[in-house]
């Protein structure tokens, strides 16, 4: 790839729209569910799995379930995508929808 192609690829990567919303992490073996929101859903799963594999997750219950049942028992799912024309409203929308989904799924917070 030439320099112009590299610059185009970098610019396209930086300009891409990030998927934001609410996600759930489920342990199928135990039935436990954890919910959180993120302004970048694509990157958040990688972060959660990295921390769990490292054994350093802040949510001790989730880490214990991961250690007991293994990564094959865990699923990451996007439960709602959040979009709004006003970017200033996104943080409050994420909090509100996270609270809604936590109640709907009878789930705990990802960060305990």
Q: Is residue 6 left, alpha or beta, with left meaning phi > 0 and alpha meaning psi from -120 to 50?
A: alpha
Task: Check: CB of residue 39 under 8 Å from CB of residue 20.
Answer: yes
5 or 108: which leads in pLDDT: 108
Q: What mean pLDDT, rounded, does the chain reach?
A: 91
Task: State pTM to two decimals.
Answer: 0.83
d(CA 82, CA 91): 10
**Over the stretch 23-64, which tens digit does the pLDDT of each residue have?**
999 999 999 999 999 999 989 999 999 999 999 999 999 999
The pLDDT assigned to 1 comes to 67
Domain regions of the chain by residue span: 18-109
The pLDDT assigned to 74 comes to 97
Angle subtended by helix axes 60-69 and 41-54, to nearest 10: 70
- Does residue 112 register a pLDDT over 70? no
Please determine, looking at this structure, whether the domain spanning 18-109 carries the CATH number 1.20.120.520: no
What average pLDDT does this structure show over 73-95?
A: 92
The pLDDT assigned to 14 comes to 66
């Amino acid at each position: 790839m030439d320099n112009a192609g590299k610059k185009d690829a970098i610019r396209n990567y930086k300009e891409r729209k990030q998927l934001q919303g609410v996600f759930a992490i489920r342990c199928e073996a135990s039935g436990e569910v954890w919910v959180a929101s993120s302004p970048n859903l694509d990157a958040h799963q990688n972060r959660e799995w990295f921390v769990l594999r490292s054994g350093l997750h802040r949510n001790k219950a989730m880490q214990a379930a991961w250690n007991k049942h293994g990564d094959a028992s865990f699923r990451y799912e996007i439960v709602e995508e959040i979009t709004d024309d006003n970017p200033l409203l996104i943080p409050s929308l994420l909090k509100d929808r996270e609270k809604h989904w936590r109640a709907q799924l009878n789930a705990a917070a990802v960060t305990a």
